[in-house]
Each structure stands twice: as structure tokens, then as C-alpha cells.
Amino acid sequence: MTESRTSSPKPAAKPAAKPAVARTRKAAAPAAPPAYRHPNLGLAPVDQTAGFPDAAEKVRAGAATIAANALEAAVKADPTIRTRYDQVALRRLLRDGELLADRLATCLASGRDKYLTDYAEWIGPICRRRGLSLGDLAAVCAGMREGLEPQLNPDELAAATRSLEAAAAVFKRNGRLAGDSHQRNALLKWMYRGV
């Protein structure tokens, strides 16, 4: 039996589409502000009054004294700092403490820790070139926290401690990389002397 190839009736055409109606969308939640607010992107700068601006002014005004007290506390905690560095290197370490205090003041004013942790990341190669151990800068951070304790109220001190501990953690982590001039374990140095 053969079927004829005659045209079978076509189904009826679909009705014309309805006119497009403007759909209403729910308003999206506002996006979180970016972590970096670079002015070339057209973004407003970080608010430098969002944190503790009065504490930041105290730290900026006394940066030299804070750095000197922090270095003294670091030397008290590790007396070998005096023997490992000459006077020029100690003066440079004191200057590094002043720069840490300035970055800490920016962290306190803005309420963000990134200014001090970014600086801790950047300073590593310079410290290697100068023969300065990053562990010593972590000790300066700890000494800075001790020196700031009587000057700041508990909330300001908590913010400063959080920033200094974050920077010290970066210093300690990067200090484990090759090229840092920290004290080596004498036994391991003897065991791997031929490697």
C-alpha cells in the first residue's frame, strides 16, 4: 500500500504575539563599595573620618616618639637587635617605625587595615636589600602597640591592635621566604650545610 504524497492540511497559524508590555523589575540591592577606590575610576576617595580621626591625629603628632618607644620595646624583647645592626641600620629601623606609625594613623582615620598591611607587603624587598629582618619589624609593631596603650581609649586601641597584628602577620609570613636575614636554627643550619 502506498500513500499518496498529497499535501495534507496544514495546522492553523498561531495567533499573533501580544504587544510587548514593559516588565517591571525589582530594584537590585546596592552593590558593596569596591575595596580600592582609585580616583581614576571616578570613585570618591575613602572617608578619612569613618574611623577614629582624633586617635589618628594623636598618632601622627607623636609618630617620632611612638617609633622610638616601639624600637626600645623591640630591643628589650630581643637584645640581639643592638648587636646585629650598626647605628645607621638602627636609625633606619627607627625611620621605618615612623612610617609604620603614619600608616597606622591612616588606618585609624579610615577604619580600614589595608593601608598598613599593603605597606607591610611592599616593604619586604627593600628590607631584604638592606639586610633587615622582617621579624624585627614585627617586633616594632608589637612595641608600638605597647606604647599606644596609655594614649588611646579601648575602642581606638582595639582598632590599632587589629591593624598592627595584621601587619605583623604579613611580616612574619613574608619573613619565612628566602632572602630574609632572620636568625636561622643552628641545628638545621649545621644539618643542611652541604645543601
pTM of the model: 0.70
| Residue pLDDT, tens place only, 131-162 | 888 888 999 999 999 989 888 999 999 999 99
Residues of the chain with pLDDT below 50 are: none
pLDDT score of 182: 58
The stretches of 38-182 forming alpha helices (DSSP H) are 53-61, 63-77, 80-84, 87-110, 114-122, 124-130, 134-148, 154-175
pLDDT score of 47: 77
pLDDT score of 177: 66
pLDDT score of 91: 93
pLDDT score of 172: 87
> What CATH number labels 53-178?
1.10.490.10
Q: What span, in angstroms and rounded, lies between the C-alpha atoms of 48 and 40? A: 19
**Mean pLDDT over the full length of the chain:** 80
Q: Percentage of the chain with pLDDT > 90?
A: 44
Kindly list the domain boundaries of the chain, sorted by start residue.
53-178
Q: What span, in angstroms and rounded, lies between the C-alpha atoms of 89 and 132? A: 8
Q: How many C-beta atoms lie closer than 10 Å to residue 78's C-beta?
A: 15
